Amino acid sequence: MSTATAGRPHAFDSGLTTPDFAACLAMGLQPLGLVQGYFVGQISSWSTYSGYPVRNYPCACYETGMHNTGWLGRVDDLDQAWMSAHGTALERMLKEAADLGAHGVVGVTTEMSHPTNANSCEVHLYGTAVLSVGGPAPQRLWSTQLAGHKLAKLVEIGYVPGSVAYARCTAMLVEGCNMEFYGSGRCGTGYIITPLQDAHELARSGAVDVARRMSPAMSMYGVDMEVHETEGTGATYITCSLRGSLVRRARSTLPVSPPVATVSLGS
Protein backbone atom coordinates (compact mmCIF):
# COMPACT_ATOMS: atom_id res chain seq x y z
CA MET A 1 0.00 0.00 0.00
CA SER A 2 1.15 3.53 -0.60
CA THR A 3 1.36 6.55 1.69
CA ALA A 4 -1.98 8.28 2.25
CA THR A 5 -3.01 10.72 -0.46
CA ALA A 6 -6.02 12.94 -1.06
CA GLY A 7 -7.46 10.35 -3.41
CA ARG A 8 -6.88 7.47 -0.99
CA PRO A 9 -7.15 9.01 2.50
CA HIS A 10 -7.12 5.66 4.31
CA ALA A 11 -4.23 4.04 2.45
CA PHE A 12 -0.93 3.73 4.29
CA ASP A 13 2.16 1.57 4.52
CA SER A 14 3.83 0.08 7.57
CA GLY A 15 6.90 -1.92 8.50
CA LEU A 16 5.15 -3.55 11.46
CA THR A 17 4.36 -7.22 11.80
CA THR A 18 0.72 -8.20 12.30
CA PRO A 19 1.12 -8.75 16.11
CA ASP A 20 2.98 -5.42 16.51
CA PHE A 21 0.39 -3.65 14.40
CA ALA A 22 -2.42 -5.04 16.55
CA ALA A 23 -0.57 -4.12 19.76
CA CYS A 24 -0.16 -0.52 18.57
CA LEU A 25 -3.88 -0.26 17.86
CA ALA A 26 -4.64 -1.68 21.32
CA MET A 27 -2.44 1.05 22.86
CA GLY A 28 -4.25 3.77 20.95
CA LEU A 29 -1.44 4.29 18.43
CA GLN A 30 -2.75 4.70 14.88
CA PRO A 31 -0.16 3.82 12.20
CA LEU A 32 0.08 6.54 9.55
CA GLY A 33 2.82 5.40 7.22
CA LEU A 34 6.37 4.19 6.73
CA VAL A 35 8.90 7.01 7.14
CA GLN A 36 12.65 7.04 6.57
CA GLY A 37 15.73 9.22 6.74
CA TYR A 38 19.00 8.95 4.82
CA PHE A 39 22.48 10.32 5.09
CA VAL A 40 25.15 9.51 2.53
CA GLY A 41 28.53 11.20 2.68
CA GLN A 42 32.28 10.87 2.40
CA ILE A 43 34.62 10.60 5.36
CA SER A 44 38.21 11.70 4.92
CA SER A 45 40.98 9.13 4.87
CA TRP A 46 41.80 7.35 8.12
CA SER A 47 45.21 8.98 8.14
CA THR A 48 43.73 12.46 8.49
CA TYR A 49 42.17 11.68 11.84
CA SER A 50 44.15 12.56 14.91
CA GLY A 51 44.53 9.85 17.48
CA TYR A 52 44.33 11.06 21.07
CA PRO A 53 46.85 8.95 23.04
CA VAL A 54 45.72 7.78 26.45
CA ARG A 55 48.43 5.23 27.24
CA ASN A 56 51.94 4.30 26.07
CA TYR A 57 53.36 0.78 25.87
CA PRO A 58 57.01 -0.24 25.96
CA CYS A 59 58.35 -2.76 23.50
CA ALA A 60 58.19 -6.31 24.88
CA CYS A 61 61.65 -7.04 23.44
CA TYR A 62 63.30 -4.33 25.48
CA GLU A 63 66.13 -6.69 26.47
CA THR A 64 67.38 -6.74 22.89
CA GLY A 65 67.96 -3.01 22.91
CA MET A 66 64.85 -2.25 20.80
CA HIS A 67 62.85 0.55 22.40
CA ASN A 68 60.15 1.36 19.85
CA THR A 69 57.02 2.09 21.83
CA GLY A 70 53.38 1.70 20.93
CA TRP A 71 50.38 3.58 22.21
CA LEU A 72 46.65 3.36 22.67
CA GLY A 73 44.33 6.25 21.85
CA ARG A 74 40.86 7.30 20.73
CA VAL A 75 39.76 8.48 17.30
CA ASP A 76 37.10 10.92 18.42
CA ASP A 77 36.81 12.80 15.11
CA LEU A 78 35.78 9.63 13.28
CA ASP A 79 33.20 8.73 15.93
CA GLN A 80 31.72 12.23 15.89
CA ALA A 81 31.36 12.05 12.10
CA TRP A 82 29.33 8.82 12.28
CA MET A 83 27.17 10.02 15.17
CA SER A 84 26.50 13.28 13.34
CA ALA A 85 25.47 11.28 10.25
CA HIS A 86 23.08 9.22 12.38
CA GLY A 87 21.62 12.39 13.89
CA THR A 88 21.03 13.88 10.45
CA ALA A 89 19.24 10.75 9.20
CA LEU A 90 17.13 10.70 12.38
CA GLU A 91 16.03 14.32 11.93
CA ARG A 92 15.07 13.63 8.31
CA MET A 93 12.99 10.63 9.36
CA LEU A 94 11.21 12.67 12.04
CA LYS A 95 10.56 15.41 9.49
CA GLU A 96 8.72 12.90 7.29
CA ALA A 97 6.73 11.76 10.33
CA ALA A 98 5.83 15.35 11.23
CA ASP A 99 4.59 15.94 7.69
CA LEU A 100 2.13 13.05 8.23
CA GLY A 101 0.92 14.60 11.49
CA ALA A 102 2.48 11.84 13.61
CA HIS A 103 3.34 11.97 17.29
CA GLY A 104 6.13 9.39 17.11
CA VAL A 105 7.84 6.61 15.17
CA VAL A 106 7.89 2.98 16.33
CA GLY A 107 9.86 -0.04 15.18
CA VAL A 108 12.80 2.06 13.99
CA THR A 109 15.47 0.06 12.15
CA THR A 110 18.98 1.43 11.66
CA GLU A 111 21.27 0.39 8.80
CA MET A 112 24.84 1.72 8.56
CA SER A 113 27.40 0.81 5.91
CA HIS A 114 30.28 1.85 3.64
CA PRO A 115 28.51 1.84 0.24
CA THR A 116 31.60 2.41 -1.94
CA ASN A 117 34.79 2.24 0.13
CA ALA A 118 36.10 2.48 3.69
CA ASN A 119 35.82 6.28 3.59
CA SER A 120 32.15 6.42 2.56
CA CYS A 121 29.30 6.64 5.06
CA GLU A 122 25.65 5.66 4.62
CA VAL A 123 23.04 5.76 7.37
CA HIS A 124 19.43 4.68 6.79
CA LEU A 125 16.70 4.86 9.45
CA TYR A 126 13.12 3.77 8.86
CA GLY A 127 10.08 3.02 10.96
CA THR A 128 6.31 3.43 11.21
CA ALA A 129 4.91 6.86 12.06
CA VAL A 130 2.06 6.68 14.58
CA LEU A 131 -0.55 9.04 16.00
CA SER A 132 -1.63 8.82 19.64
CA VAL A 133 -5.40 8.80 19.26
CA GLY A 134 -6.99 11.20 21.73
CA GLY A 135 -3.62 12.18 23.18
CA PRO A 136 -2.04 15.65 23.15
CA ALA A 137 0.63 16.43 20.58
CA PRO A 138 4.13 16.10 22.09
CA GLN A 139 6.52 19.05 22.08
CA ARG A 140 8.95 16.89 20.12
CA LEU A 141 8.31 13.76 18.10
CA TRP A 142 9.55 10.64 19.84
CA SER A 143 11.08 7.55 18.25
CA THR A 144 11.89 4.07 19.45
CA GLN A 145 13.19 0.77 18.18
CA LEU A 146 10.41 -0.92 20.13
CA ALA A 147 6.99 -1.88 18.84
CA GLY A 148 4.16 -4.17 19.82
CA HIS A 149 4.16 -5.95 23.17
CA LYS A 150 7.66 -4.72 24.10
CA LEU A 151 6.55 -1.10 23.80
CA ALA A 152 3.31 -1.90 25.63
CA LYS A 153 5.21 -3.46 28.54
CA LEU A 154 7.57 -0.50 28.71
CA VAL A 155 4.65 1.90 29.06
CA GLU A 156 2.95 -0.44 31.51
CA ILE A 157 5.85 -0.22 33.96
CA GLY A 158 5.89 3.56 33.80
CA TYR A 159 8.34 4.48 31.03
CA VAL A 160 7.78 6.38 27.79
CA PRO A 161 10.02 6.49 24.70
CA GLY A 162 12.29 9.43 23.98
CA SER A 163 14.46 8.80 20.96
CA VAL A 164 16.51 6.15 19.20
CA ALA A 165 20.18 6.58 20.03
CA TYR A 166 23.56 5.67 18.56
CA ALA A 167 26.82 5.89 20.48
CA ARG A 168 30.26 4.83 19.34
CA CYS A 169 33.92 4.78 20.37
CA THR A 170 36.96 3.82 18.29
CA ALA A 171 40.21 2.83 19.97
CA MET A 172 43.40 3.08 17.91
CA LEU A 173 46.31 0.79 18.78
CA VAL A 174 49.66 1.74 17.24
CA GLU A 175 52.22 -1.03 17.46
CA GLY A 176 55.83 -0.81 18.51
CA CYS A 177 58.20 -3.70 17.73
CA ASN A 178 56.29 -6.28 19.79
CA MET A 179 53.96 -4.91 22.44
CA GLU A 180 52.44 -8.22 23.50
CA PHE A 181 54.52 -11.28 24.30
CA TYR A 182 53.81 -14.53 26.11
CA GLY A 183 56.36 -17.11 27.22
CA SER A 184 60.12 -17.20 27.71
CA GLY A 185 63.02 -16.36 25.45
CA ARG A 186 64.96 -13.25 24.60
CA CYS A 187 62.08 -10.99 25.68
CA GLY A 188 62.18 -12.28 29.23
CA THR A 189 60.14 -14.88 31.05
CA GLY A 190 56.67 -13.79 32.09
CA TYR A 191 56.89 -10.31 30.53
CA ILE A 192 53.25 -9.85 29.59
CA ILE A 193 51.34 -6.77 28.50
CA THR A 194 48.00 -6.80 26.77
CA PRO A 195 47.40 -3.66 24.70
CA LEU A 196 44.88 -5.35 22.40
CA GLN A 197 42.71 -6.25 25.37
CA ASP A 198 43.07 -2.69 26.63
CA ALA A 199 41.94 -1.41 23.23
CA HIS A 200 38.77 -3.51 23.37
CA GLU A 201 38.06 -2.35 26.92
CA LEU A 202 38.60 1.31 25.93
CA ALA A 203 36.25 1.00 22.96
CA ARG A 204 33.50 -0.63 25.02
CA SER A 205 33.76 1.66 28.03
CA GLY A 206 34.07 4.71 25.78
CA ALA A 207 30.89 3.86 23.88
CA VAL A 208 28.99 3.36 27.14
CA ASP A 209 30.24 6.72 28.45
CA VAL A 210 29.10 8.46 25.27
CA ALA A 211 25.66 6.87 25.59
CA ARG A 212 25.33 7.99 29.21
CA ARG A 213 26.24 11.57 28.32
CA MET A 214 23.70 11.75 25.48
CA SER A 215 20.80 12.26 27.86
CA PRO A 216 21.59 11.97 31.58
CA ALA A 217 17.88 12.14 32.46
CA MET A 218 17.08 9.08 30.34
CA SER A 219 18.12 5.44 30.22
CA MET A 220 19.06 3.44 27.13
CA TYR A 221 16.82 0.42 26.69
CA GLY A 222 17.16 -2.54 24.33
CA VAL A 223 20.88 -1.99 23.75
CA ASP A 224 22.55 -3.76 20.85
CA MET A 225 26.38 -3.76 20.99
CA GLU A 226 28.60 -4.39 17.96
CA VAL A 227 32.40 -4.57 18.04
CA HIS A 228 34.57 -4.54 14.93
CA GLU A 229 38.33 -4.88 14.61
CA THR A 230 40.11 -3.41 11.57
CA GLU A 231 43.78 -3.82 10.70
CA GLY A 232 45.61 -0.84 9.22
CA THR A 233 49.24 -0.06 8.39
CA GLY A 234 50.99 -0.35 11.73
CA ALA A 235 47.73 0.17 13.62
CA THR A 236 44.62 -1.66 14.77
CA TYR A 237 41.20 -0.03 15.13
CA ILE A 238 38.60 -1.39 17.57
CA THR A 239 35.16 0.16 17.11
CA CYS A 240 32.32 -0.41 19.55
CA SER A 241 28.84 0.78 18.57
CA LEU A 242 25.72 0.91 20.74
CA ARG A 243 22.19 1.20 19.39
CA GLY A 244 19.15 1.48 21.58
CA SER A 245 16.15 3.53 22.62
CA LEU A 246 16.29 6.32 25.18
CA VAL A 247 13.40 6.10 27.63
CA ARG A 248 12.32 8.18 30.62
CA ARG A 249 10.23 7.38 33.64
CA ALA A 250 6.78 8.98 33.47
CA ARG A 251 5.30 7.55 36.66
CA SER A 252 6.20 5.30 39.55
CA THR A 253 6.19 1.58 38.95
CA LEU A 254 2.96 -0.05 40.04
CA PRO A 255 3.33 -2.48 42.97
CA VAL A 256 3.78 -6.09 41.94
CA SER A 257 1.21 -8.52 43.31
CA PRO A 258 2.55 -11.39 45.43
CA PRO A 259 2.99 -14.58 43.42
CA VAL A 260 0.24 -17.15 43.73
CA ALA A 261 1.17 -20.81 43.65
CA THR A 262 -0.65 -22.64 40.87
CA VAL A 263 1.26 -25.92 40.80
CA SER A 264 2.75 -27.86 43.67
CA LEU A 265 6.12 -29.45 42.99
CA GLY A 266 6.14 -31.32 46.27
CA SER A 267 5.73 -35.04 46.51
Q: Per-residue DSSP letters for 161-184?
A: EEEEEEEEEEEEEE--S-S---SS
**Which of the residue ranges 58-72, 170-184, 208-222, 242-256 has the most confident prediction, judged by mean pLDDT?**
208-222
**CA angle 220-211-52, nearest 5°?**
165
For β-strands 104-113 and 142-143, DSSP reports them as parallel
pLDDT in tens, 94-129: 999 999 999 999 999 999 998 877 778 999 999 999
**Position 8 pLDDT exceeds 90:** no
Could you count the other beta carbons within 10 Å of the beta carbon of residue 187? Answer: 20
Task: Give the helix ranges, DSSP H, for the chain.
Answer: 18-26, 76-99, 148-156, 195-214
Query: Could you tell me which CATH number the domain at 18-249 has?
Result: 3.30.110.70
250 close to 158: Cβ distance less than 8 angstroms: yes
Query: Mean pLDDT, to the nearest integer, of 224-245?
Result: 90
What distance in Å separates the CA atoms of residue 133 and residue 146, rounded to the nearest whole number? 19
The more confidently predicted of residues 118 and 16 is 16
β-pair partners for 160: 248
Contacts of 257 (CB under 8 A, 6+ apart): none
156 close to 244: Cβ distance less than 8 angstroms: no
175 close to 235: Cβ distance less than 8 angstroms: yes
Sorted by where each begins, the domain ranges of the chain are 18-249
